[in-house]
């Protein structure tokens, strides 16, 4: 199944519209997820949450604006927290540690049922004999695991503008068309093809348990103080 090349874009602007979007998302079994922010991480504010569906629909939740309106209750009052913590909905994410850290430390949300495409790539590469494979950009992941998936063609131009604003790019409001296109493409690129190709390889080669273990490590990297140490010890052992 292929998503439309031009996504249907929804940008709910108030609590009621967000709740209606969440009701639709709650019926999905697989979604793609990404977040943007100001030096996004444990302390870097999460300002935008993007969710894509298999039919090519993209929901952009303006966390920065809605949090101001709802006094830190945006995720709970809209039901988005239930989507993010659901064990029934698979969340396909590229390199989830930063998003995970921001959601956990800023909103008390621990991601569940994540399919991390970066982790999948690393596990696949290891299975094919590469001891310490390199992490790859989203654009390169798309090329490796899909014939059709691609990121926003102006991504590098957006990143340049981002750097000029000293990291505050994703706090700009109103968002420009370039920002909307960039944010949308980062989730439409992941499903269905990249996810389906990686998932099929992992399951057919019997490495799903290892994959799940590594994804959990990625989720906890900026949450559990021991997670980084465990990764450091594992990679050091491989180098020996």
The rounded distance, in Å, linking the Cα atoms of 56 and 184 is 10
DSSP codes joined into one string, 115-155: EEHHHHHHHHHHHTT-SSPPP--HHHHHHHH-SS----TTH
Per DSSP, the three-state class of 174 is coil
pTM: 0.91
pLDDT band at 135 (very low <50, low <70, confident <90, very high): very high
pLDDT tens for 15-39 read: 999 999 999 999 999 999 999 999 8
pLDDT tens for 184-214 read: 999 999 999 999 999 999 999 999 999 999 9
pLDDT band at 157 (very low <50, low <70, confident <90, very high): low
CA distances from 82 to 59, 206, 233 (A): 16, 30, 34
pLDDT tens for 75-89 read: 999 999 999 999 999
Q: What number of helices (H) and strands (E) belong to the chain?
A: 12, 6
The rounded distance, in Å, linking the Cα atoms of 96 and 173 is 25
């Amino acid at each position: 199944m292929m998503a439309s090349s031009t996504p249907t874009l929804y940008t709910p602007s108030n609590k009621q519209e967000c709740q209606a979007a969440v009701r639709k998302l709650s019926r999905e079994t697989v979604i793609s997820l990404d977040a943007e922010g100001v030096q996004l991480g444990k302390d870097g504010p999460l300002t935008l949450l993007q969710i894509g569906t298999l039919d090519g629909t993209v929901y952009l939740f303006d966390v920065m604006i809605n949090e101001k309106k709802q006094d830190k209750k945006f995720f709970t009052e809209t039901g988005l927290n239930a989507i993010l913590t659901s064990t029934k909905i698979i969340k396909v994410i590229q390199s989830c540690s930063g998003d995970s850290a921001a959601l956990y430390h800023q909103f008390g949300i621990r991601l569940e049922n994540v399919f991390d495409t970066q982790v999948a790539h690393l596990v696949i590469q290891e299975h094919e004999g590469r001891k310490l494979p390199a992490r790859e950009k989203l654009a390169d992941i798309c090329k490796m695991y899909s014939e059709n998936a691609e990121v926003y063609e102006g991504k590098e131009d957006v990143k340049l503008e981002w750097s000029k604003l000293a990291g505050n790019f994703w706090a700009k409001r109103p968002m420009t068309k370039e920002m909307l296109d960039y944010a949308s493409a980062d989730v439409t690129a992941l499903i269905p093809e990249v996810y389906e190709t990686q998932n099929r390889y992992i399951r057919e080669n019997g490495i799903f348990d290892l994959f799940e273990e590594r994804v959990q490590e990625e989720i906890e990297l900026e949450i559990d103080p021991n997670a980084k140490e465990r990764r450091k010890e594992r990679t050091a052992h491989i180098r020996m």
